[in-house]
Structure 1
């Protein structure tokens, strides 16, 4: 039988001797006395999980020790050792201060002390069980919201006392309602249980996890060295979560977003730490895929989930912080530059270049894409003029056009005005549309396209084959080129299905006298296959990532050198 440790705190050594003899006579033997005449670190002593009960001699520090215990370990039984029996008022004060019972010197009897300790310890265990159940989520067994707040408060107190950092992570499952809608709530619960177990498997023993709501979790990481340590743990959790789940005979992929904040670096209070971690999570949700974002005071969200990102985007639009990088499109037959796709970047004053995945959705929601879209078209027209100055008159510049842009009543007039002011050649300007954009209002989009075509502007159909591909788009709309999505190029030439799809698209387009541009080309084998299929153009990292316009002359020179090398060999 494990011995129960009883801590005796008294400046009187006789108290320790009498208590030790009394406890040693217990049958069966079940107590072990730990003695202390003074406490140098009282909180550490009282919170020691090995201590089952405390016998505290009344003295000058009694009230302080009782308050300390009541705040940090309220379930710990504390029995006061007194010189006399307390009167009714003293007894009330004793219990209000957190003492569970009392003993009187000179009246100690073995059976009474043994029964008192047994009862106190069993009551403590019962209270701990009740508290544990009330602080646990019934579905996952993790902490619930009440348990989470209690654990976080204690973790922050330990951070202050021992001078280490505590990290708080907020996690939310993306589009979780789709799981419940398609597979039922029972399967949804199974996913939540599996997800919580995967998260637990990546945490240390000192960490704790809580389920705050249906698909929202919080993780408390104690003694975190640096922000990089927090990010590393979050990334491990995301990798575990991203593995497929097996539901009703199908593998289902789930994405999650995690935001994190550090105490005391990012916050000075519990409420502030929680707000900042949740703000970072909301920021992570604006980026597709499993993502972790650490809290930053540059881009943050308020408690309602709205963001100062919106204010920064409006400022960026006013101050023209958006710029274009250009990804080359290469003519495979000639090995020469044929076109450029203009890709938007936000040159943030603090964060540097930000790719569109982090802000485009917000711009669309705010209605900013119209304003930004006109800036992009103007930049592209200026780029055409610059290309002419560099004797690259035949290079096409392609601009992605969204539905909100092309359906704007001012779009035609604005494009005309930009062309007139810049003097750019409209025959070298190409607007890229997706089939999703066209399908939103086919007749209206068709009318707009014909108006723009009369100005000399050409069109390409982006992401061909990935959506609701309709051959009528190729026969009824003024489309000069189709872009084969990178999904059909990725495993060429080894994937026979992808090879067949690419070959069919290229042959169909050739018969319709439409150019084909293959996206996502990353290796020589893909280039060789596409060249053998008479694909006119390719773009991808095999040739170049998107680059600033000023780097283009060097790129063209390098390609000319490589072309001469290829011909001579």
Structure 2
């Protein structure tokens, strides 16, 4: 800066105008501080826009992942339908209706001319499908590539998301395309969105909070800096006008001192402002990090979520392909997790999931990915597997860790798991194939008795398809009334008179013949069909009981079994009460049979439920007694009428002193409690003699009769 030194005595110099000084004064009067403040506020605005853009990007990525997952699920479900269905119009229609009842998914099947062969809406049958305005259905039947499109029609004026996959005349990729399966997946996408909507809100809230923080801090900082700049500007303007100014030091009060002090003040303000801006920047970075955590983490367990899993799986597959490595996909599913939710509540279920997530984390390496895909399903990604045979050791380690006891709601629980494993590239080269094959292996592990693991093999594909077909066939049999009830007599040990009957379910299949209950009952339990099936059995048995009584056949006690899935169903009591009222059956002639293990699973709930049945007037029996772990003290707490000795203790009565002692002990204990005793599985006369002589009240088994249809039993009673 250039300036003239004016002496006090130089009046001529003071009087003479200085054009340069006037120009300097005009420049000094410009509002510099306001320009700086505007630029700083613009920078703060840019930071806010950046955070909002990042937040919007994260939300967009999340929404795209949800849509991708919905399309993938829809494509897999439609493909499984196309793979499993038989190309016959009547069979296809029944198959589609069965799937609708089981999964509540809207789908239909068209032939090569796009004529509807099967549809939930029967009015659409035979109609040519023309609602794919882009010709997606025809294109898929031409090249075999699945496609998604939006159907806008009178039925779906707002648009419905559809997925079309080819349907072939044989389960081979090169087989001839004979039609297409079209599945609506709008509800699937909506369900996935609803599952993640909380996370989306949190991401948006975090982004807005970050913007608000940046704005407030930016406004405050700009004000402070503006004040400092204004002071400097005032000092420079005062100096340019020649007004007195404080010296640099207290003893030197001149214009240079004034400028130096003003500069020192400004420097201190700028340093303080810099620190605040640094803090502000760190806060913005932390907010961005929190946004990323919310976008890629499961909010319950803290593990990676489905979005993060998909992203890292893509990277891992690319690296495995580039470097020729193997990687393993391990799917972990907790056994009977629904029972924990049903009996202890969802809070206990959430606590269990958090505990299981912590145990999985402790078992795995830092390089391994652990993700929760939803519910009780976890997936582990092992990116570098040098020895695939060692995966069995890893699986056993996981099973041991997960099955260790834990306490929930004051109770000690032992939760087991089932594990399915697939390996890249042996079992697939893309994520959907590896996941499908791991799921097939997981299903095999559950079929083998749970609390175990299984590796995928091509042979499991056939088993999985057969199981799916069997499930569909069972559902179809139930829908079409193929299932029947037979009745096995229970006779008085004293004189052989028929005292009651047990209703037993039979499946006379038109092609497979008589299907064993040991085969189809576990499938019904696994799929949940056992609950509506159990309601049907109870209603049919009650109606038969009323019919026999009206015909004067005899005063029989009708026994009906309750399955474990039924007993844990929260609507069981209401269902039984409704059936008793609707059929008009005498409650005193109806006996519900519950296994010993079902009673001991949740004693308090069982006591409450059984007390309600007794108030209704029903009889109660404990089936398969002796195979569980109840004690006399526990047994006394239940309002039961009958104990049934399990057939395992009756089978070898003639030659086993241990079975004789057990049978005698059960009879003695039952008599001490005033209970009726029934022995099941009686097949020989020596068994009859032994049980009758020991005081057993009723006998049931092939020695007297197998389970027979209602008409044959009526004839037997007549004889």
TM above 0.5: no
Q: Which structure's CA Rg is the greater one?
A: 2
TM-score range, shorter chain: 0.3 to 0.5
TM-score, length-normalised on structure 2? 0.36
